[in-house]
Amino acid sequence: MRKLLQLAAVLLLTGAAATHAQITNPDNLVAPPPKPPAHRSPNATDDLQWLWQFAKPSPNGRADDLRLDARFQALLQRFFKQPQAMWGPPETHQSLATVIPLFLSQYGTVTAEHNRYLSVDGCVPRFCPAHGLLWIDLGTAHPLLVFAAVNWTTEGHSTDEAAADYSLWLFPNRTIDANALPLELTESLAHWDARLAEAHRLVPHITHALLVEPDGSPFALDPQLAGANTLAPQPDTITPHPEDKD
């Protein structure tokens, strides 16, 4: 079965190339004091605690400030090295670390969940059919980061049709089980759709989902098990189309 999933994932990837730190109040999200040097492990999470400040003020945080922060750029370069085939022509694919900020640019928000998880979401400017969410678990010694990207499947329907098809790509910074994604991650993806629906933005119908491991190995996923399609699809009634005048 795993070989079949891998084969399906490779085909999807090829097709795409062708086309619990406890803080109750988000307003009080303050990085805890660092441990004394004698007790600090080389991979301690205190080097990522600076991220919490960007969840203030609630409920939307400061996504633009985070995206432009040099530490954030360095974080992406450090954790996301796998190739991507979801954006740009095949011969000029940008690195994943370069594409992530683009997918978080417009309507960006930073939210804290369960006082442990941080989510940064947004979309490509003036093309919100391509949108992304960066999910971070700051409650472990080795932080888990997963970038989730959604992009339109060009065949069949235009982006303003509810029946249009979309693909979901998951890029973790370390190997995770494609058959047992973290529950908190899938819940966060479902909450993402709920926020989009409330804001009258695009809620996509995901027809294909793919996990791309750090070494580039692709695995096909069941979209529902990945947290997608929990709500009925809806078109974006907020974002101007590229041909619209400001």
Is 62 part of a structural domain of the chain? no
34 pLDDT higher than 60: no
Is 172 part of a structural domain of the chain? yes
Is 68 part of a structural domain of the chain? no
Domain residues for the domain of 82 are: 2-19+74-221
Q: Which pLDDT band holds residue 242 (cuts at 50, 70, 90)?
A: low
- This prediction's pTM: 0.79
Is 28 part of a structural domain of the chain? no
157 pLDDT higher than 80: no
Q: What is the pLDDT of residues 166-180, one digit of tens each?
A: 999 999 999 999 999
Is 110 part of a structural domain of the chain? yes
Q: What is the pLDDT of residues 35-53, one digit of tens each?
A: 444 433 334 444 899 999 9
| pLDDT score, position 98 | 95
12 pLDDT higher than 90: no
The percentage of the chain sitting over the pLDDT mark of 90, rounded to a whole number, equals 61
How many domains would you assign to the chain? 1
User: Of the candidates 134, 143, 124, which has an alpha carbon nearest to the alpha carbon of residue 46?
Assistant: 143
What does each C-alpha distance from 88 to 116, 129, 202, 227, 239 come to in angstroms? 34, 14, 21, 26, 21
Residues near 107 by beta carbon (within 8 Å), at least 6 away in sequence? 121, 122, 123, 128, 199, 201, 239
Is 29 part of a structural domain of the chain? no
Is 130 part of a structural domain of the chain? yes
Is 83 part of a structural domain of the chain? yes
